[in-house]
Amino acid sequence: MEGVVIRSTGSWHDVLTTEGSISCTIRGRFRLQEEDATNPVVIGDRVTIQKNVDGSGVIVERHPRHGKLSRRAAGRRVGKEHVIVANVDEAWVVQSVRKPRINPGFIDRFLVMAEVQTIRAGIIINKSDLLDASAEEHIGFFVELYAGLGYDVHMTSVKTGEGVEELRRILERGIHVLVGPSGVGKSSLLNALQPDLKLRTGGISEATQKGKHTTTYAELLPIGEARPDGGFIGDTPGLREFGLVGIEAAELSHYFVELRDRMGECRFPNCTHDHEPGCRIKELVEEDQVAVERYESYINMLRSIQLGDADVGR
C-alpha cells in the first residue's frame, strides 16, 4: 500500500495510509543507493510499504520527489546532504520580533535554498505582541524589504491571535514546512493553529538568550482530518544554522530575486559582483535600488562558498 511519511525518529518511520499510521523500517538497499545523503527517507516522502504480520511495515519504494529542503550534514558526515523534508509545496521561515531577535542572515540562507529547490517561500514573524516603539522601525524595515521582493510575509502572535486564522487558511492544503531557530515560537504557533496537537513548548535560555530545543524529531502534522492526501505542516528540530548545499559561487546570484534580472548589465559576463570593475549590481546598491543588507548577505554567502564552508552567516 501507499502512504506519506509523517514521522521519522531514526530507524523507524511512521507512514500514514488509508488504514491509519503504520510504523515502518526501510530496506537496506535505500542506504546503499543514497550515498550522498544521510537520510534516504524523510517526512513528506510518498512511499510504498509492505505490511508485516505483526502490524508493522517495511518501506520498499520511495516515489519521486517534487521538492525538498536540505542542509549540509554535520560531524563525521560532513559533505553529505541532510534532507529535512520532501515534497514541499510551500516553505516558511519563522522568526520572532525578539527573544530571540530577527536574524536576516538566516532568512536569506533559507530563501536561497528555497529558490534552489524552486519551492515557494514565505516569512512568518512571530511574537508580534512584543512589537513596541523600539522594535517597530527595525521589524517594519524587513517586512517591507521581503514583501517588496515578492515573498509572503505574515505577522503572528499566539498571545493576541493576530494572523493565526489567516495563516491557518493558507496551511490547510498541501505540505508546508516551518523552519527557524529554537525559541521563535514554532511549537506554540502550531498549537494555536491546531489546538489538539499539544506540542511541548520551551522558553529562552537566560544565559544565551537562545531558544531551548523542544522538537526532538522531524514530524509532519496533519491539519484537520489526518489522511494521506490532506494538508500537513512539517515541524523540525530547531536549526541554529542553515547551510547551502550544492551551490557553486558562480550560481549564487541567480537565487537572489532582485539580482538575477540585472546581472546581464555588468561589464563582465562572469562577474561575481564582488571586486570586478563595471559591476552593475554594486552600482544598484549604491543607488539604493538593491538593499545593502541583502547585498551583504550575498557577499557573506559568496565568501563562505568560496572557502568551502557552506554553513554561512552564523
Question: pLDDT for 165-216, tens place per residue?
Answer: 999 889 888 899 888 888 999 889 989 988 887 666 554 444 444 444 455 6
Does 93 lie in the same domain as 50?
Answer: no
Domain hosting 176: range is 83-235
d(CA 258, CA 126): 25
Does 201 lie in the same domain as 101?
Answer: yes
Does 23 lie in the same domain as 162?
Answer: no
Among 182-196, 204-218, 256-270, 289-303, which stretch is predicted with the lowest mean pLDDT? 204-218
pTM for the model: 0.80
Does 287 lie in the same domain as 210?
Answer: no
Does 282 lie in the same domain as 144?
Answer: no
Q: What confidence score (pLDDT) does residue 207 get?
A: 43
Reported as a single tens digit per residue, the pLDDT across 126-178 is: 999 999 988 999 999 999 999 999 999 999 999 999 999 999 889 888 899 88
* Domain CATH for 267: 1.10.40.50
Give the percent of the chain with pLDDT over 70: 83
- Write out the three cell numbers for 134: 523600539
Does 219 lie in the same domain as 93?
Answer: yes
Q: What confidence score (pLDDT) does residue 181 get?
A: 84
Does 283 lie in the same domain as 205?
Answer: no
- Contact criterion met (CB below 8 Å) for 2 and 47: yes
Q: Are strands 175-179 and 90-96 parallel, antiparallel or unpaired?
A: parallel
* pLDDT bracket for residue 34 (50, 70, 90): low
d(CA 189, CA 198): 11
More confident residue, 168 or 309: 168
Question: Do the domain assignments include residue 311?
Answer: no
Does 136 lie in the same domain as 34?
Answer: no
Question: Do the domain assignments include residue 209?
Answer: yes
Does 190 lie in the same domain as 124?
Answer: yes
* pLDDT bracket for residue 121 (50, 70, 90): very high
Look at residue 271 and give its three-state secondary structure: coil
The secondary structure element, H or E, covering residue 293 is helix 292-306
Does 256 lie in the same domain as 217?
Answer: no
* Domain CATH for 196: 3.40.50.300
* Domain CATH for 55: 2.40.50.140
Among 31-45, 107-121, 256-270, which stretch is predicted with the lowest mean pLDDT? 31-45
Mean pLDDT of the chain: 85
Residue holding cell 528555497?
Answer: 114
Look at residue 166 and give its three-state secondary structure: helix
Among 47, 82, 117, the domain boundary falls at: 82
Among 54, 82, 110, the domain boundary falls at: 82
What's the structural domain count of the chain?
A: 3
Does 125 lie in the same domain as 24?
Answer: no
Does 230 lie in the same domain as 139?
Answer: yes
Question: Do the domain assignments include residue 284?
Answer: yes
